[in-house]
């Protein structure tokens, strides 16, 4: 059974085939979705175009989410392809210097940029595409445990994700009258280009399988499966929530006493 047959979905944030957004796109394609992609910068354009070609050959459109003009141009380019039934927000940026050291050392400019790209961009996308989204559409944002709990070296990224999760709830309220659902997926640690910027990340990957109830790390395909469900009619009454895809790690209040870290 294909849960997304005939649905048109815009996926943002694909950088390469190992990106969480790429895993989501792949699973959505398997379930019949017609996909469109955005990219930012020539550095990733070819990679996104290659993935798009593999997943149905949908449009690939440049979009800088920090630019209103770029967002409007993206909307206009999408117009020729019809309305959207889904939007996947998988965009974040934090200067590497703000992923270490003390939070009180974060510069004002770095804070502004991170909050703009990582958090406000969800508002900006919905604002730009609100008339392009069909009633009953699904909006998904990617977040992480560091939004609500201290993850050393996640720092400003965690602060930005906390804002993003709050935005999810408020957008869900504002869009609910149109039946548009807004949710977040809090994925466990996955080896991606962005996650490797976090100090001690390899150690996190070692700890999770020892501690999580399911005793394993997760994959981009695991996240993709949940994204398909949340975008499908099966989740028609689910909104304003954060859904953990982390093998249960988020529920652990203390490590098991027999675990050697």
Residues with a known catalytic role: 144, 154
Of the CA atoms within 13 Å of residue 171, those in its CB half-sphere come to 27
Q: DSSP letter string over 14-71? A: --STTSHHHHHHHHHHHTT-EEEEEE-SHHHHHHHHHHHHHTT---EEE--TT-HHHH
Q: How many CB atoms lie within 10 A of CB 103?
A: 11
Question: Which residue is it, tokens 């604002």?
Answer: 127
Q: For residues 157 and 118, is the Cβ–Cβ distance under 8 A?
A: yes
Phi and psi dihedrals of 62, rounded to 5? -70, 140
């Amino acid at each position: 059974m294909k849960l997304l047959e005939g649905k048109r979905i815009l996926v943002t944030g694909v950088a390469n085939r190992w990106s969480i957004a790429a895993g989501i796109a792949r699973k959505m394609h398997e379930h019949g979705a017609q996909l469109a992609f955005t990219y930012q910068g020539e550095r990733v354009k070819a990679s996104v175009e290659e993935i798009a070609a593999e997943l149905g050959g949908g449009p690939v459109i440049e979009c800088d989410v920090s630019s209103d003009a770029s967002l409007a141009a993206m909307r206009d380019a999408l117009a020729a392809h019809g309305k959207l039934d889904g939007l996947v927000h998988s965009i974040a940026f934090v200067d590497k210097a703000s992923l270490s050291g003390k939070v009180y050392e974060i510069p004002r400019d770095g804070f502004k940029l991170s909050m703009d790209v990582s958090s406000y961009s969800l508002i900006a996308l919905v604002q730009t595409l609100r008339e392009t989204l069909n009633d009953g559409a699904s909006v998904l944002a990617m977040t992480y445990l560091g939004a609500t709990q201290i993850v050393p070296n996640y720092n400003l990224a965690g602060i930005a994700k906390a804002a993003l999760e709050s935005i999810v709830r408020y957008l869900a309220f504002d869009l609910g009258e149109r039946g548009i659902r807004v949710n977040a997926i809090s994925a466990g640690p996955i080896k991606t280009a962005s996650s490797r910027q976090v100090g001690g990340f390899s150690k996190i990957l070692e700890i999770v399988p020892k501690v999580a109830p399911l005793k394993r790390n997760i994959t981009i395909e695991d996240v993709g499966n949940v994204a398909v469900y949340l975008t499908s009619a099966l989740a028609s009454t689910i909104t304003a929530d954060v859904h953990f895809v982390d093998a249960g790690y988020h529920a652990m209040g203390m490590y098991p006493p027999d675990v050697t870290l």
